[in-house]
Amino acid sequence: MEPMDTPSNDPTDERAARQEWRHAHDRTSDLQAAGNPTDPTMVPPVATADAEPAGTQAAPPAASTATPAAAQPTERIAKSMTEHPAHVPNPSDLVLAIRGLRVAFSGNEILHGVDIDAPRGAVVALVGPSGCGKTTLLRSINRLTELAPTASINGEIQLDGQNVYDRGTDLNLLRRRIGMVFQQPNPFPMTIFDNVAFAMREQAKTRPSRSSLMPAVQDVLQRAGLWDEVKDNLDRNALSLSGGQQQRLCIARTLAANPEVILMDEPCSALDPRSTARIEELIIQLAGSLTVVIVTHNLAQAKRIGDYAAYLLNGDVIEQGLARKVFEDPDQQSTRDFVSGMFG
Amino acid sequence: MIAISAFMLIVIGAIAIFVFYTGWPSFSANGLSWFGTGDQPLDVQLGNSFLGDPETGEPSTVLNAWPAILGTLLTTGGALLLSFPFALLGAIFIAELAPKRLAAILDPIVTILAATPSVIYGLFAILVLAPRIERNLIPQEQAEQLSAVVTLTGANVLLGILVLSLMIAPLMIAIFADALRAVPIKWKEGAIALGCDEWRMTRRVSLRAIRPALVAGTTLAMGRAVGEAIALSMATGSIGFVPNPLDGYFFFLEPVRTMASSIVDYSEGFESPELKANLFAFGVILLITTAALTIGAKIASRSAERRLGGGQ
Amino acid sequence: MPTRLSDRVGVATAYAAGGVLIIAVTVIMSWLVWQGIGTISWDFLTTGPAPGSLEQGVAGGILPALVGTLIVIIFGMLVAIPLGLGVAIFLTEYRQPSWLAKGTDTAIDLIFGVPSVVFALFGLAIFSQGWLAWLSNPVGDAGMATAQSFFCASLMMALIGLPPVVRSSQAAIIGVPNQQREASYALGKGRLTTIRRIVVPGARPGIATGIVLGIGRIAGDTAIVWILLGGAVLQSPPDGWYLPWNLVDFLRSEGSTLTTYIYFSSPAGEGNSPGPAYGAAFVLMVVILFVNIALIRLSRRKIGKR
C-alpha cells in the first residue's frame, strides 16, 4: 500500500483540527457510572465463567506507554483535565479517519459529508436517533454499503492513512482487517468449531488440520469469554446456542480473522440484559488491542463503554469527541436534547 | 373440502391399486427373473407377448426386464451426473456471479426452458443432435464391426442423456438459484464481512444452507428423468439392447429402451392382456420409484432443514 | 480474482456453465424459430392434415391438434381448479382431521412426483371398464371401452394440473392477512362466507399463478395424450364439432394435440415429416411463452400489491 501524504491525511494536522479528541477521559469513573442504579437499562455486572478478573479493561498492555496528549486543553471543557483513555496510547494516532463521506441510495442522500476519527485502541460509539445514518456509516467502513446496487458513495475513509475506497483495494483483505459484528447474531449453520475456524481457513493457503487450528480457536473463544461454556461440545451446531452465546461466538469468529478494527452494529439490541452486560464487558476488554466502532441507540451503553462518541442526526455529525464530554457537557443544543432523553 | 381432500387420497390409492392389479400377472408369471436378463432380447419378448410365441402361437408371458431397467438407470444416472454439477455452477453463476442485468434476463429464460415440453427437446435431439452424433462420433469401420450385434445410429444412450439433461438442468438451475438467493442475507453478509468473495461465500456458507433445496431439486429432476417417456422414445433409439461395457467408448453410442418409453412405444398393443400386464409392470416400477423419491426427498430435506434450524 | 487455484477453477467453471447455458438457449430457440417460422402460414393453422400427406412431408395443417390442446387444457383445468382450490382451502383453513391433512399433503406431493405415463396407464385401466364406456366408446360387446377420448385424457390431465393449483393457492391463502378474516368473523359472517368473500378473493393472484402453471404442464404433456387420446393424428375434426349438440360426441372421440402431433410427425413417429413437426413445435413454444409471460405478469402484480 502506498502511503498517503496529502496534508489533510497527516494525523498531526488532524490533531490540530479536532481538539475535542485530545480531552481526557476517566474510564474508571465511566464504569462506575455504568453501575448507576438510576439508569433503567443498566444491569448489574454478572459473574462470568471467564477467569479474567473484573477491571482488566483498565490495564491493557498499552497503558504504561500511554502519553498524556491533553497538552492544550480546550477552554470549553472545564471539568475534565484528566488524560485520555488509558488504553489509547496516542489519540492523535488515528486508525480510521472518515473524511467527507457522502452516501446515497437511488439518489436519496443518507450521509451528507461525514467526518469521524477513530484513535487506535479506542471504543468509538456512534449514537443518534434511528434513521440518522449511523448503520450506513458503519457499513461503509468495510464497504458493505456498496453491496446494494443503488448505493453511491463519495468521500474518503482512511484505514492507517490509506483510503479504503481507492481503486485496487483488496476488498477481502480490507474486510479481514476491519471485522464486523452484526445486529442479529449470525453464526453460520455449522459447528461452533467451524464457525470460529472460518476466517483462519479462509486465510490459509492450504487446508489446515483441525489440530493445528485448535490453539487459535481456543484463544479467540477465551478472549470472547465463551470457551468455558462450549469447550466440551465444539462440534455442536452453532445455531443451538443461546442468543448471547451466538453473539459472543460471532465476536470470536471476527477476532479469529485478527482484525485491527471491529465494527459493531447494535450488537446487543437482540439480546437480554444479562447477555448485554457480558458483551459490554467483552468490548471493554478488547479495546486497546484493537479499535471498536460501535453503533448503538442505547445511550447508557454508549456512555458505559465508549471512549469517544459521535452524535449523528439526519446524516450529519452534530458533535463528536470524548464520550464523557459529548454525554455530559455537549456543545450543541441538539446533542443536549438528545442526551437528556437518556435520563428523562 | 373434507370430501375433496379425502377424494385425493382415494385417487392416489386407486392409481396404486389399478396399476398394481393390472401389472401383477407379469410379475407373478416371471418371479424374480422379471428383473433379470433373458435368453431373448427385450423387444422379442414384448413382441411375443403381443403377437404370440412363434413356436406355440400363444401370447407369451415371459419378460426379463433388465434391458429396460438398465436403459432407465443409464439415461437417468448419466443425465444426473452431467447436469447436477452443471446446474449447480449455472445457478451460482446466475444467482451470485453474473452481472445483475444478465441475471435478470437469464432468470425467465431458465424458467421457460424448464417449462418447455419434453417432446420439443426430443424433436431437437432427433433432428439436430442425432445426425451430428452419427456423423462425427461413430466411425464407419467400428459401426460395421458391431453391425452384426446392433446398428449404431445417432439415437443412443448418449443422446438420451443429452435430451434428459436439457430437460432437467433448467429445472435444477431454477430451484438451486432460487435457493441461493433465499439464503438469509445475514449469513451472506457475515461471510463477506469475514473477507470472502461471492464465490467463497457461496462455497463455504450458501451451499451448506441450501442443502435441503439441493436434495429436493435433484430428486425432483430424477423423478422427471425416470418417468420421461416421449423424449427418450425419440432419442435413445428405442431398441431393447443391453449396451456392452466391453465396447468401451461405444458403450454410450449403443441404443437402449427405457421402461417409460417402452410403455409409449408399445401403446398400440394394449388389447393383448399379456403385453398390457408387462407394460403395467413397468408402470409399477416407475410408480414405486417416483413415490419413493418423493417421500425420500421430503424426509431428507426436512431433516436437513431441522439441522439448519438449530438443535442437534 | 480469487487467489487460490481451486477457487479460480471454480469461478471459471461457473462462468463456463453460464456461457454454455446462454449458448444452448440461443441455439435451441433460434433453431426453433428458424425452422418453425417458415412452416407457419394461415393455412397451416386453420386446416387439418391432408389425407396421406403427413407421411410424405407435404401440405396439411395443425388445426385439429391446436383444438385438441385447447380442449384438454380447458376440460382438464375445469376439473383441476375446483378440486385444487378445495384441497388448498382444506389444507390452509381447516386442517382437521389432521391425519387427513397430512395424507392429502403427501398425496399432492405424490401426484406431483409421479410421471404422467403412469397416470396414462391408470386412466387406461380405469376408463376401459365397461361401466365407464360413456366416457369414451365401447369396444365390441366385451364390456370394455376404448378409454381413448377427450374426456379420458382431460380427466387425467386434471391430475397433472392439480398440484400447481394446490400449492400456489395454498401459499396465497396463507398470505391473506388474518385481520381480514377476523374482521369478517367479527361481522358475524360464517366460515364458508368468510372463505368465499374474503380469503379466495384475497388469494386471487396466487390462484391465477397456479392455474397458469397447470395450463403450462397440461399443454406440454405427451404421454397421457398419446395413450388416452389416440396415437394417430386426426385428419380433421369431425364436421360441426364446434356445435354445442355435437360436443359430447366430440369429447367422446379420439383426437390429437400439438404434442402428439409433433411426436407423430417426428422421425420417431410414423409421420416422419420434420417440416410440420417444426411448425407445430414453434406454435407449442409460443403457447408456453405466453404462459410464462402471464406468470411473470402475475408475479409482478403480487409484488406490486404488497
Residues B245-263 have a mean pLDDT of 87
How far lies B305's CA from each of B184, B208, C34, in Å?
A: 14, 11, 46
Please answer yes or no on whether C107 and B106 come within 8 Å at the CB atom. no
Q: What is the CATH number of domain B65-273+287-311?
A: 1.10.3720.10
Nearest by CB: B106 against C21, C103, C295: C21
Q: What is the largest CA-CA distance in chain A?
A: 59
Please report residues of A whose CB lies closer than 8 A to that of B189.
Answer: 144, 147, 180, 182, 186
A82 has pLDDT over 50: no
Nearest by CB: B263 against C15, C22, C121: C121
Nearest by CB: A190 against B195, B208, B311: B208
Please report residues of C whose CB lies closer than 8 A to that of B110.
Answer: 21
Please answer yes or no on whether A257 and B186 come within 8 Å at the CB atom. no
B85 has pLDDT over 80: yes
Please report residues of C whose CB lies closer than 8 A to that of B200.
Answer: 2, 7
Amino acid identity for residue C28 in this structure: I
Nearest by CB: B307 against A142, A175, A237: A237
Residues A218-224 have a mean pLDDT of 90
**Residue A310 cell numbers, joined:** 459521535
B191 has pLDDT over 80: yes
CA distance C304 to A114: 35
Residues A154-171 have a mean pLDDT of 89
Q: Which chains touch A (3 or more CB pairs under 8 A)?
A: B
Higher pLDDT, A76 or B107: B107
Query: What is the pLDDT at residue C236?
Result: 64
Please report residues of A whose CB lies closer than 8 A to that of B312.
Answer: 236-237, 240
pTM here? 0.85
A22 has pLDDT over 50: no
Residues A181-202 have a mean pLDDT of 92
User: B257 pLDDT band (50/70/90 cuts)?
Assistant: very high
B17 has pLDDT over 90: yes
Give first-to-last CA distance, chain A, whole Å: 49
Nearest by CB: B192 against A144, A188, A198: A144
User: C2 pLDDT band (50/70/90 cuts)?
Assistant: low
Query: What is the pLDDT at residue A41?
Result: 41
Higher pLDDT, C64 or C219: C219
Which residue in C114, C264, C285 has the most chain B C-beta atoms within 10 A of its own C-beta, making it the best mutation to test that interface?
C114
Nearest by CB: B195 against A175, A190, A240: A175
Please report residues of B whose CB lies closer than 8 A to that of C32.
Answer: 120, 124
Nearest CA in chain B to A256: B194
Nearest by CB: B115 against C124, C220, C281: C220
Q: Does C145 touch chain B (CB under 8 A)?
A: no
Please report residues of B whose CB lies closer than 8 A to that of C295.
Answer: 111
Q: Does C132 touch chain B (CB under 8 A)?
A: no
CA dihedral (C229, C233, C234, C237) positive or negative: positive
B294 has pLDDT over 80: yes
User: B167 pLDDT band (50/70/90 cuts)?
Assistant: very high
Please report residues of B whose CB lies closer than 8 A to that of A254.
Answer: 193-194
Amino acid identity for residue A316 in this structure: D
Tell which B residues from 213 to 272 touch C, by Cβ distance under 8 Å. Answer: 220, 223-224, 226-230, 233-234, 238, 260, 263-264, 267-268, 270
Predicted confidence (pLDDT) per residue in C109-123, tens digit: 999 999 999 999 999
Peptide bond into C97 cis (omega under 30): yes
CB pairs under 8 A between B and C: 236
A46 has pLDDT over 50: no
Please report residues of C whose CB lies closer than 8 A to that of B21.
Answer: 125
Please answer yes or no on whether A186 and B200 come within 8 Å at the CB atom. no
Highest averaged pLDDT of the listed ranges A53-57, B59-63, B112-116, C127-131: B112-116
Nearest to B221 by CA among B284, B258, B167: B167
Q: What's chain A's average pLDDT?
A: 76
Please report residues of B whose CB lies closer than 8 A to that of C220.
Answer: 115-119
A252 has pLDDT over 70: yes
Please answer yes or no on whether B5 and C90 come within 8 Å at the CB atom. yes
Q: Which chains touch B (3 or more CB pairs under 8 A)?
A: A, C
Please answer yes or no on whether C114 and B291 come within 8 Å at the CB atom. yes
Nearest by CB: B119 against C14, C263, C296: C263
Question: How close is the nearest chain A Cα to the Cα of B169, in Å?
Answer: 27
Least confident of A78-92, A198-212, B13-27, B273-287: A78-92
A44 has pLDDT over 80: no
C4 has pLDDT over 90: no
Predicted confidence (pLDDT) per residue in B88-133, tens digit: 999 999 999 999 899 999 999 999 999 999 999 999 999 999 999 8
Q: What's chain B's average pLDDT?
A: 89
CA distance B219 to B224: 9
Nearest by CB: A184 against B100, B186, B193: B186
A122 has pLDDT over 60: yes
User: A2 pLDDT band (50/70/90 cuts)?
Assistant: very low
Predicted confidence (pLDDT) per residue in B299-311, tens digit: 888 887 777 764 3
Please report residues of B whose CB lies closer than 8 A to that of C268.
Answer: 122, 126, 233-234, 238
Query: What is the pLDDT at residue C274?
Result: 81
Please report residues of B whose CB lies closer than 8 A to that of A198.
Answer: 191, 194, 204
Q: Does B14 touch chain C (CB under 8 A)?
A: yes
A21 has pLDDT over 90: no
C6 has pLDDT over 70: yes
CA distance C296 to B174: 14
Query: What is the pLDDT at residue A255?
Result: 92
Residue the block writes with cell 380469503: C199
Query: Is residue A209 a contact partner of residue A235, using CB atoms and an 8 Å limit?
Result: no
Predicted confidence (pLDDT) per residue in C169-185, tens digit: 999 999 888 888 889 98
Please answer yes or no on whether A240 and B312 come within 8 Å at the CB atom. yes
Query: What is the pLDDT at residue C86?
Result: 93
A7 has pLDDT over 50: no
Query: What is the pLDDT at residue C141?
Result: 67
Residues A258-287 have a mean pLDDT of 89
Nearest by CB: B116 against C17, C82, C288: C288
Residue the block writes with cell 382431460: C154
Query: What is the pLDDT at residue C49?
Result: 73
Nearest CA in chain C to B290: C114
Please give the helix or strand (H or E) that residue A181 lies within, else none. strand A178-181
Q: What percent of chain B has pLDDT over 90?
A: 60
CA distance B77 to B83: 10
* A14 phi-psi bin (left φ>0, alpha ψ -120 to 50, beta other): alpha
What is the SS3 assignment for B157? helix
Q: Does B275 touch chain C (CB under 8 A)?
A: no
Nearest CA in chain B to C263: B119
Residues B146-155 have a mean pLDDT of 79
User: A70 pLDDT band (50/70/90 cuts)?
Assistant: very low
Nearest to C168 by CA among C208, C135, C195: C208
How far lies A58's CA from each of A28, A286, A295, C4, in Å?
A: 7, 11, 22, 42
Predicted confidence (pLDDT) per residue in C74-86, tens digit: 999 999 999 999 9
Q: Does B209 touch chain A (CB under 8 A)?
A: yes
ipTM of the complex: 0.91
